[in-house]
Amino acid sequence: MISNSTQTDKIQTGEDYINSLRGRSLKVYLFGAMVEEPVDHPIIRPSINALAKTYDLAIAAPELASVISPFTGERVSRFLHVCTDAKDLVLQNKMQRKLGQLTGTCFQRCVGMDAFNSLYSVTFEMDKKYNTSYHERFKDFLTKMHRSNFVIGGAMTDVKGDRSLAPHQQVDQDMFLRITKRTDKGVYVTGAKAHQTGCINSHWMVVMPTMRLGENDKDFAIVGAIPVDASGITYIYGRQSCDTRAMEGGTIDVGNVKYGGQEAMVIFEDVFIPTEYIFMDGEFDFAAMLVERFTAYHRRSYVCKSGVGDVLIGAAAAVAEMNGVPKVSHIKDKLVEMTHLNETIYATGIASSHQGYETKSGAFICDSMLSNTCKHHVTKMPYEIGRLAQDLAGGLVATLPSEQDLNHPEIGKLLRKYLKGKADVPTEDRMRMLRLIENMTLGRNAVGYLTESMHGAGSPQAQRIQIGRAMQLEYKKRLAKIISGVIEEEEKDLVVEELSGYFERVFKI
Ligand code: SF4
Ligand code: FE
């Protein structure tokens, strides 16, 4: 079997993609044992199906989910595209919402997309300062990825050890991925990345520093691309709430039988990165720029949750209907509230993309204030939407008997009778809808819809720091002082003055 990293046939369909993952020599652990073939594992497969959907959508809606590659001239996934105008950024968000709607979960492909969009401009600016050749190398790598239409994972989050210490101060130096050896052919890295979304379902991953670095952290300033089946990598699969239901063989109790998310811990033991795949090596002063740009993209990618929210709102509305109360005013009002919250997430994310601007490299980046605002909403609003969905579902969402009981020759009849809502709705349909709500608010996909919403792309405090940095209080105080008469300045001066930062973008016509 050819290694996934050297495959030359271009992946087109979801099925091609699934086949491309077969037969790799990945070292994946789950429940204390090596997984023989991840593709066929009942817990892992739903996450692969979710990613496969990104390929199928590109065929069903090519304008939405694919682009013509500037490198190969062929159609490739939009997830592999470097944005060159604000419309590109906006279309990423539209594609993400649609995929959230189609899968009801995390489809795992945005981290890589956001990583290489930021790397495109950061490598360009690094080269300008240091006369290096990272940008050309990076473009060569992207061209290779486009040829095969691969999935690239982004690996940023180090395990971090003692949070009060810089990487070089850690007692165990492996708490942040670091270079352990340099040769004339490349570097060797050791360390671990936690919570890696879709890593086992990717073909390549790009490792990046997780935070601002200082001069003593040069060995931690490494960005490089690695095939996921490279020697020295071990994956330890992350458990998800209720994950073993996928091994019970039914279709009801899992809630979402086809789709799920994936996170794993990735451990690197002297993994080799050849020079051609190194895009930062020691330029510690660019780590902060990379992290900030990545988060500007990634925090508005969380509009994915508005697509997932659409599914949950639909489930809550459907269950109310099955209970015979769709027109009751407080129920309608709760659905309105859920929709309002959901659209607030989408609104800030899409606005961040619309307000995108050009970097020196020509790549477009989204507005960081609105991106952070979007992600900050995402740390709260899905929880409230989930609370309202559980409210509308009623207590059965947490006390429902099992699928086996429903199918039991004796008690099944009783359950079908006593768990009925509206007379014309089959009990099984009502159970399915309740299980979906359970799945998204307590079960497997609550990992993506709730906790990943909290911590993915940075926990809430990380966004507050960014918002605090960019909020331009001096400017706002001046507005207040002029209007209150504390200082005398003509309003017209305010209209024509040159602005910087967020407000420069707000008023740019
Ligand atoms: Fe994409 Fe959302 Fe999953 Fe992140 S959480 S990879 S943005 S689908
Ligand atoms: Fe994420």
Ligand 1 atom having least distance to the Cα of 114: 7
Copy the structure tokens of residue 32. Answer: 């204390």
pLDDT given for residue 5 in this prediction = 59
Where do the domains of the chain lie? 14-288, 300-468, 472-506
Q: Which helix (H) or strand (E) holds 329?
A: helix 329-354
Least confidently predicted of 281-290, 468-477, 486-495: 486-495
Q: Report the alpha-carbon distance of residue 201 to residue 187 in Å, rounded.
A: 25
What does the pLDDT read at residue 353? 98
Of 59, 79, 207, which Cα lies nearest the Cα of 142? 79
CATH T-level assignment (fold) for domain 300-468 = Butyryl-CoA Dehydrogenase, subunit A; domain 3 (1.20.140)
Q: Would you say the CB of residue 456 lies under 6 angstroms from ligand 1?
A: yes
Round to the nearest angstrom and report the end-to-end CA distance of the chain: 54
d(CA 201, CA 43): 13
Give the pLDDT confidence of 367-400 residue by residue, as tens digits. Answer: 999 999 999 999 999 999 999 999 999 999 999 9
Range list of H helices, 215-303: 287-301
Q: Which CATH class is domain 14-288?
A: mainly beta
* Cβ–ligand 1 contact at 106 (below 6 Å): yes
Q: How far is CA 129 from CA 15, 65, 67, 279, 454, in A?
A: 44, 35, 32, 14, 36
Give the Cβ contact number of residue 139 at 10 Å: 16
Q: Could you write out the DSSP letters of every residue in 128-149?
A: HHH---HHHHHHHHHHHHHHHT
Ligand 1, from 51, 95, 103, 108: best to mutate by most atoms within 8 Å of Cβ?
A: 108
> Rg for the chain (alpha carbons), in Å?
24
Distance 184 CA to ligand 1 centre (A): 37
Q: What is the pLDDT of residues 324-349, one digit of tens each?
A: 999 999 999 999 999 999 999 999 99
What pLDDT was estimated at residue 4? 52
Who's near 362: CB < 8 A, 6+ residues apart? 84
495 — pLDDT class (breaks 50, 70, 90): confident
**How do residues 68-80 score in pLDDT, each as one tens digit?**
999 999 999 999 9
CA distance 247 to 500: 55
Q: How far is the CA of 109 from the centre of ligand 2 (A)?
A: 9
Cβ atoms < 10 Å from Cβ of 496: 7
d(CA 418, CA 46): 32
What's the pTM?
Answer: 0.96
Residue with tokens 């209209």: 495
Q: What is the pLDDT of residues 284-330, one digit of tens each?
A: 999 999 999 999 999 999 999 999 999 999 999 999 999 999 999 99
Give the active site residues: 106, 110, 197, 263, 298, 302, 304, 452
Our answer on whether the CB atom of 108 is closer than 6 Å to any ligand 1 atom is yes
Look at residue 489 in the predicted model and tell me its pLDDT.
Answer: 80
Distance of CA 250 to the CA centre of its chain: 29
* Share in percent of the chain as helix, strand, coil (round to 5): 55, 15, 35
In sequence order, what are the beta bridge partners of 191? 268
Distance CA 420, CA 84 (A): 54
Of 454, 446, 457, nearest to 105 (Cα)? Answer: 446
Centre a 10 Å sphere on the Cβ of residue 243 and count the other Cβ atoms it contains.
Answer: 21
CA of 304 to the centre of ligand 1 (A): 6
- What is the β-pairing status of strands 186-197 and 204-207? unpaired
197 lines ligand 1 (CB under 6 A): yes
Quick: pLDDT tens for 200-240. 999 999 999 999 999 999 999 999 999 999 999 999 999 99
Give the pLDDT band (50/70/90) at residue 450: very high
State the pLDDT confidence band at 8, using cuts at 50, 70 and 90: low
User: Does 14-288 match 300-468 in CATH topology?
Assistant: no
Are residues 309 and 103 in contact, defined by beta-carbon separation less than 8 angstroms?
A: no
The DSSP symbol for 359 reads -
- The Cα 23–Cα 222 span in angstroms is 30
304, 310, 353, 375: residue to mutate for ligand 1 pocket, most atoms within 8 A of CB: 304
> Taking all residues of the chain, what is their mean pLDDT, rounded to a whole number?
96
- Kindly write down the DSSP assignment for every residue of 50-108, as one continuous string: HHHHHHHHHHHSHHHHEEE-TTTSSEEEGGGPPP-SHHHHHHHHHHHHHHHHHHSS---
User: Using one digit for the tens of pLDDT, what is the confidence trace for 74-104?
Assistant: 999 999 999 999 999 999 999 999 999 999 9
